[in-house]
Structure 1
């Protein structure tokens, strides 16, 4: 969330005596995130027992005690925080001029000092201790205890800052124009506005990864290849199942981004994701998770028990992936591949279509190739921009040859499986001319070898799955494959 200063703000500050200090808030003001909220959610994924203990501190001790406990056990890194560049630039400029700058925050004391030591701008730091949560009037009293009756500039971002904004001679507020107007009305005096761009629908859509929903067209694959082996009235149920899988996938994407927030912030491109960049607040994220959960329950209620169990298995395996298998080389792509197969199984179940073990094996090996390719693209050059201390995975650039071998071996194995399938005795009940299916082999091999070739030429630099879905070649090959399957059936 980029912050834009009013044009007259610099001039206004220049007109204020250098003896007037700046007191600046941290969460939501200097940074576009909330240190404690992020750290607590991070503990849920990394140290769930300690996260439960932190919540018990809130219930039976105090929020201050919980904050200190979380700060001790979190993987907090001040250098990776999403700082608001214009606020930071202002503070650097005023620091060079010799103006006193104080960091006053409700964040835990250890985190506040980490930020202060990293930036080197603050003459004093006041923050939450085990005895007191430095928020609202507590913060106001602490500031006045340091400054006495001196005038000061205070930069805040929430209604909790109103007592300090009332006390400050020069109140400044970080927020949208609408929020600034509301704060000015509450205070009954003018407020120096630090305007930020309001959250837009596209920010939520980006976090939901709507473009990734195309993967869930796999739910429709049995309908596309079945050619009348199912009841037409079940088609509506298939689309409901696909939508349910889309919503479930978005739910998982949010959890993944919360778990990987520090890794993403250390990554050259992933640091721009809505959660890592602070474009969406923790409140926004929790609200989205709540809505998605309601949607999952409503859509699941429209399907039978078997379909619900498949989706529940999908969600459960994704949580296991996020918590454990994502960190383990090879295991991660094996599990990811099975998650693709679950989409196909869901479509088959809803249509009440039988599944051939050969067909599923053929698909699994092709999906394993795609999963290996995805990791290959991510780690071939990307790890140069990722600090090893933050990466939770075992992969490094040295593993890319293994991923390359895994991908190519998988697709050749898939073709072998298809050849065996066309020679099996049970294929005649489904396909009248099964030998035509062998034409799938050159189509699949050509597509796969082409994509690896393009990757080696560095023509693929982002998510390879999206590269496949939006490639004209892919759709041409897909239509040809459907034509082959149809020809084998008639």
Structure 2
């Protein structure tokens, strides 16, 4: 039994989404607390297991359709590299491990994990076939990841930060739909039912709408939130959010590279630098560095 296809079916590249779990740790300035760090790491690992279980299950359901797609046809189940019974066992093990870890973290994380799994059920039960609904369901999973990080360390989370996370996820989600819409051409409905309800102009508008929303809401968070009032230097991190969003739009509209954002993050040096500088500037601000000109 080849190991590589069984690892690929977990989609480890997608685990970068679970970095959102660390947002609460960063924005509560508790990254120096061993207990909080441990809880966050466990929550992130548990979400990796749960999300991989969902990916495996989705690949089982989508195998026939994936074989008609120019990129997805190489997924292990669609390509016949992993048998469906083995994939099913793997999905159950991942699900059980993830739920057990969430249970160990407490009631809050367990409820969030339940909500995440419910969203995936709704997506596969028919939401995926409905334009707009499909991307909103996916984006809600990103928001739950951010909320999970807060629940894991018993912290609250700003509504502005939640709104920003949702906008970023919607921007990425609609950019992925746009990429697939362009790639599949007249066969787009065969690849994904919801694509037949979209137009290129509508997808362009939606990407721009949520890109602006993400930049705006994070800007407000970095100035007006309770955290920002306590740590005014947080406004410095907004520079890299705006830059990263701007760069992403260039890649989406200029190069049609919105199809694999998890790969784009590491392949494009501008995107990687903006993320790293964002984390560094936010951590510096949360450490208590002072910017006298911004003090009120």
Shorter chain as denominator, the TM-score bin is 0.7 to 0.9
Q: State which of 445, 468, 472 in structure 1 corresponds to 2:265.
A: 468
Work out the CA distance in 2 between the residues paired with 1:423 and 1:247.
Answer: 36
What's the counterpart of residue 17 of structure 1? none
User: In the TM superposition, what are the counterparts of 1:33-72 in structure 2 within 5 Å?
Assistant: none
Task: Encode CA deviations 1:320-346: one digit per residue, 9 max, x unaligned.
Answer: 112211111111111211110101110
Larger strand fraction of residues: 1
Larger of the two Rg values belongs to structure: 1
Aligned partners of 1:343, 1:462: CA distance in 2, in Å?
A: 21
Residue in 1 that maps onto 2:152: 350
**Structure 1 residue 353: Cα displacement:** 1.6
Deviation (angstroms), 1:488: 4.1
Give yes or no for the alignment of 1:451 onto 2:253: no
Alpha-carbon distance in 2 for matches of 1:411, 1:248: 28
Do the aligned residues in 2 keep the contact of 1:222 with 1:348 (CA within 8 Å)? Answer: yes
CA distance in 2, matches of 1:472, 1:306: 37
Change (3 A) 1:404 1:324: same
Equivalent residues of 2:134, 2:194 under 8 A apart: no
Q: Distance in 2 between matches of 1:232 and 1:314?
A: 27
| 1:372 counterpart residue number | 174
2:294 equivalent in structure 1: none
1:114-129 pair list within 5 angstroms:
none
Deviations 1:267-293 (A, max 9, x none): 112112111122111221222123223
- Corresponding residue for residue 291 of structure 2: none
Between the aligned partners of 1:431 and 1:478, the Cα distance in structure 2 is 23
| Residues 303 and 421 of structure 1: CA distance in aligned 2, closer, same or farther (over 3 Å) | closer
**Partner residue in 1 for 2:76:** 274
* Kept in 1: contact 2:49–2:97 (CA 8 A): yes
Higher helix share: 2
Q: Identify the residue that residue 211 of structure 1 maps to in structure 2.
A: 13
Residue in structure 2 matched with residue 336 of structure 1 by the alignment: 138
Residue 400, structure 1, aligned to residue 200, structure 2 = yes
Residue from 191, 208, 230 that aligns with 1:432: 230
2:209 aligned residue: 409
Counting only pairs closer than 5 Å after superposition, residues 7-86 of structure 1 correspond to structure 2 as none
Deviations 1:59-88 (A, max 9, x none): xxxxxxxxxxxxxxxxxxxxxxxxxxxxxx
Aligned to 1:484: 281
Is the aligned partner of 1:288 residue 2:90? yes
TM-fit CA distance, 1:403: 1.7
Question: Which residue does the alignment assign to 1:37?
Answer: none
Q: Secondary structure at the match of 1:395?
A: helix
TM-score, normalization by structure 2: 0.86
Q: Does residue 235 of structure 1 match 2:33?
A: no
Secondary structure class of the residue paired with 2:195: coil
Q: Is the 8 A contact 1:229 1:353 kept in 2?
A: no
Distance 1:404 1:449, change over 3 A: farther
Deviation at 1:461, TM superposition (A): 6.9
Query: How many matched pairs?
Result: 287
Shift of 1:234: 2.4
Query: Residue deviations 1:228-270, cap 9 Å, x none?
Result: 3884312212111111111111111112112222221111121
- State the partner residue of 2:112: 310
Structure 1 gaps of 5+ residues are 1-198
Equivalent pair of 1:225/1:482 in contact (CA under 8 Å):
no
Aligned position for 1:265:
67
**C-alpha displacement at 1:442, in angstroms?**
4.1
User: Does structure 1 retain, via aligned residues, the 8 Å contact 2:20–2:145?
Assistant: yes
Aligned position for 1:194: none
Q: Which consecutive unaligned segments of at least 5 residues does structure 2 have?
A: 289-296
Which residue pairs with 1:142 in the alignment?
none
Q: Is the 8 A contact 1:377 1:464 kept in 2?
A: no
Partner of 1:62: none
Q: Which has the higher contact order (CA 8 A, sep 6+)?
A: 2
Instruction: Give me the whole-angstrom Cα distance separating, in 1, the residues matched to 2:124 and 2:16.
Output: 21
Work out whether residues 130 and 194 of structure 2, in 8 Å CA contact, stay in contact via their aligned partners in 1.
yes
Aligned in 2, Cα 1:421/1:479: closer, same or farther, shift over 3 Å? same
State whether structure 2 residue 28 is matched by structure 1 residue 226: yes
Q: Deviations over 1:417-471 (max 9, x none)?
A: 34444564x52x654353x444444432332232222233336274123212443
Change (3 A) 1:468 1:394: same
What secondary structure does 1:205 align onto? helix
